[in-house]
Structure 1
Amino acid sequence: MAKTEIKKTLNLTFPRLEPYRTVGDFLKSKDELHSVQLPAFQWDKPRQDPDLYLTEARRTYASIVEALERRREFYKEERKSLDQQWDNLLQLEKDLRENFVKLSSFIKSNEDKRARAIERCKEDHKLCEERDNDIKKIKENIVLLQQIKEEMDKEIRLHILYEKYLNFVVGDSMDFRNAIDVIDRFESLITTKQELGLRQQSYFDHLENAKNQTSRMADENTFRILGLNTIVAGLRSRYKNASSNSMKWERIVWSIKKNALQKYKEITEVKLACRNAYLLMCRRKSETPKISESDFESQLNYIKKTLQELKTVQGEATAINKKTFSSMKGEVSKGSRKK
């Protein structure tokens, strides 16, 4: 209801006239309002009662509260409308920014297109100039070819006798069908001749290279053979010296082997003698042989020890014999004296 009242108060209708035309009516209505005298009633007179002031204050407060509520409702609606307008402004700003971006990209693309168009125009202009130059060159070539054609026609007129001769040859020969076959045969023969000449030249080159290589190899092998002959002569002399040395050393080896065989026989005999002596000593001493047959050192030590014992026994026996002989000699001397 407050919204409708506010809208009614806001949506006033009045004639759309210029202010200077309505000033007279306004002043006239104001004079008429002051000239009207309202009747004075008793209850309309103000009283000097505190309740009157309280009631007036309450009425003022109530009207103010009601006006405040209406204003708050009004401002809530206005806030919604302002928020909506703000959103619309933001959307418009966004659209405007996007439009600016699109416009900027469009301007850039237009600039690129313009630059490409200018470059293409330059290329087209350059291409046109090149085509004009090509056309000029082609025209010059056409003129040159026409001159060449005229010269060729002259040459053909000069060589028509040869054509007639070729046609005459073709007519008399069964191998050719027309003059072109004769020319092809001639060209093929010329080509074959050139190929054979090149092949012969290559063969000559190969033969020359082979001859040079053979002579070079012969020279190299001659020096190599001379060197090998020298080496063979040295080796033969070394072989003779080695043969003589080998005969000498073979004789020495043979004599060494002979002496070694003699020594081996002597050693074998000594070993047998040593063994026999050991066995004999053991038999004489009535002992069982404990030393193995291959342990010659122990056998020799045993023989040495036995000989030392025999030497000791012989010394003692000699001393006893001397004492006995001296005692017997003294007794013989005493008996002779007694006689």
Structure 2
Amino acid sequence: MQLQVEVIHQKPLYNYVLDYIKSKNFEVVLSKYHEKSNTIRCGDPHILIEHYKEKLRKIEKQLAKARKNKAQEQTKIMAEYASFEVKETALRKNFFRFNKFIKENGEKRERGAIKMKEEKEAIKKWEEKTNHLKGLLDKLESIKNVIDDAIRKHKIYENFFMKCCGDIFKQPGEIVERYELLLETRHTLLERQNNILMTLENFKTDLMRETEAAKLVILGLNTRIFNLQERYENSRYKSTVNENIIVDIYGVAGEKLEEITETKLTVNEMFMSINKTDEIVR
């Protein structure tokens, strides 16, 4: 049996120095890790058990505190829930009144909107009227400027008129008054003429209406006379026919009377002859 001898290769010295430095650095990093993670770097199990028991007691205290907080929060929530139920009951009781309030508020809002619309329309109309009046004012001012220019241009004629007709008319306003008086007189005469013409037209209309009425009356009378004449002719014709019929009746009656008379005479003669015959026979 051969013995195997492990040959340890020696490394250079600086490699051992590097290994030592690395091991020291690892221990420093490991100690910092235990400090941060709050763990105990110890190999004794009793110490570890006590450490974990202490952690368990802390956790139980935190759990009891959390349960207490939860119970308080639950109590608070139940109180809020009861208050909410009371408020809900009150809200249900006041629902119809609140609905009525909402309805009235809506109606007021609609009336307010209508009133606001009307006010806006009124404001718009007033603005349009104001703009129209402003335009009219500008137009009147332009007319005034034109009139002022015309007055300045015709000032020379006024001066000439005052020099020539100053004895008759003291001021130009008197000419205007005279002109207005003449216009008024002319207007009065025209109204009188129109009234006279209107009266004549009315008289003419009445005359034509009366003439038409008289024509209608005459036409009606002529129609009535024609109808009466026609009826008279018909009656006359019928009377002539009736007279002829009566004459014929009289003629026939005379003939019948003659026949009856002759028959009576014949019967009488026969009766007399029969009587004579009877007497002879007796």
Say whether the fold is shared (TM-score over 0.5): no
**Which interval holds the TM-score relative to the shorter structure?**
0.3 to 0.5
TM-score calculated relative to the size of structure 2: 0.34
Bigger radius of gyration: 1
TM-score calculated relative to the size of structure 1: 0.29
